[in-house]
């Protein structure tokens, strides 16, 4: 079965993809949890190594697209080790609030320790939450960001609907995620890098090649730029758009709730 075939059968039954494998939907949450439990401690260093530090610029781009200002209430979903939260926290100031949410307690703990060491306290809350069933009242947040997290969510449509629910009218959702390179040559080089070099780097740095094999596979299984935009439209977001970054290796999708 080809990758695209597997993707298409995703919602047909009770199975879903975990990388290139088909697994029971109920199993995926635990399997993803295991992956991030394993890489949490080395997550930041691996991000820097894998992306040559460019992930910092992609995250900056997301913040630049957010229209954030002092007093805003922000949900940094799948916030991991808190890169976006750290910056948002300083910008929203004492009158604002940032909620760093992640389904994985190990990632949340690494994020909390890192931010506290940076002196970021006071306007940041830490919540262990599943993106599909966000534990917040309707119309709570001015901005929701999910950076490199959506592809790990089992039911993406449900998660997008949940995000739409908790977003305030006038608020915006920003999805930063790996996507499909737009250039054929770049795509081939990227495949070579992510399927051959990446797992080896994972083995050397985090002593875990399987998790990084999953990372490469999960990126290929994630919906492309236009497909994700359509999913956001279906979830009720308006004025949706996306911007390819670094030749489409990553795309930043944006949608508003009116």
Partner 1 sequence: MPLPQLLTSAIEIGINQLLALDPDSPARLAKLKGKTLQVKVKELPWPLIFSFSDQVDVRTSQTATNEQPEAPISSDCFIELNLETLPKLKDSSQLTQLIQQQKLNLIGDIYIAQTFSTLIKDLDIDWEEQLSQYTGDVVAHQTFSTMQSAFSDLKRQLTTSAEQLSNKLTEPNGLSVSKNEFFLFSDDVSDIRSHVERLDARLAILEQKQLSRTSNTKDDTQ
Residues that bind partner 1 (CB under 8 A): 54, 56-58, 60-61, 63-65, 67, 69-70, 87, 90-91, 93-95, 119, 239, 241-243, 245-246, 254
Nearest distance in Å: CB 12, partner 1? 33
- 68 vs 70: CA distance, rounded Å: 7
Torsion 110-102-155-169 (CA) sign: negative
Residue 7, phi then psi, degrees to nearest 5: -60, -40
Residue 253, phi then psi, degrees to nearest 5: -95, 145
Do residues 111 and 80 touch, judged by C-beta distance below 8 A?
Answer: yes
Structure tokens at 23: 């697994």
- Measured from the CB atom, is 28 or 254 closer to partner 1? 254
Structure tokens at 42: 């080395």
- Measured from the CB atom, is 63 or 231 closer to partner 1? 63
- Measured from the CB atom, is 119 or 137 closer to partner 1? 119
Nearest distance in Å: CB 168, partner 1? 17
Nearest distance in Å: CB 68, partner 1? 8
Nearest distance in Å: CB 91, partner 1? 5
- Measured from the CB atom, is 56 or 200 closer to partner 1? 56
Helix (H) or strand (E) holding 244: strand 238-245
Nearest distance in Å: CB 145, partner 1? 14
- 150 vs 155: CA distance, rounded Å: 9
- Measured from the CB atom, is 83 or 155 closer to partner 1? 83
- 124 vs 82: CA distance, rounded Å: 10
């Amino acid at each position: 079965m080809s990758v695209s075939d597997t993707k298409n059968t995703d919602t047909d039954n009770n199975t879903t993809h975990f990388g290139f494998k088909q697994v029971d939907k109920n199993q995926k949450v635990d399997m993803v949890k295991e992956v991030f439990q394993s890489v949490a401690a080395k997550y930041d260093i691996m991000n820097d190594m894998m992306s040559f530090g460019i992930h910092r610029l992609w995250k900056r781009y997301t913040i630049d697209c957010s229209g954030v200002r002092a007093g805003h209430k922000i949900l940094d979903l799948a916030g991991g080790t808190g890169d976006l939260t750290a910056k948002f926290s300083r910008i929203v100031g004492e009158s604002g609030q940032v909620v760093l949410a992640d389904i994985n307690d190990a990632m949340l703990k690494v994020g909390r320790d890192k931010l506290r060491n940076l002196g970021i306290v006071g306007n940041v809350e830490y919540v262990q939450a599943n993106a599909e069933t966000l534990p917040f009242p309707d119309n709570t947040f001015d901005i929701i960001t999910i950076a490199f997290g959506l592809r790990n969510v089992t039911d993406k449509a449900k998660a997008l609907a949940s995000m739409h629910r908790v977003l305030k009218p006038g608020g915006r959702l920003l999805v930063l995620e790996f996507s499909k390179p737009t250039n054929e040559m770049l795509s081939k080089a990227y495949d070579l890098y992510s399927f051959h070099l990446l797992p080896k780097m994972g083995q050397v740095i985090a002593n875990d090649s399987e998790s990084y094999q999953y990372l490469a596979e999960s990126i290929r299984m994630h919906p492309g730029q236009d497909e994700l935009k359509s999913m956001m439209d279906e979830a009720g977001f308006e004025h949706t758009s996306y911007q390819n970054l670094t030749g489409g290796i990553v795309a930043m999708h944006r949608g508003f709730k009116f």
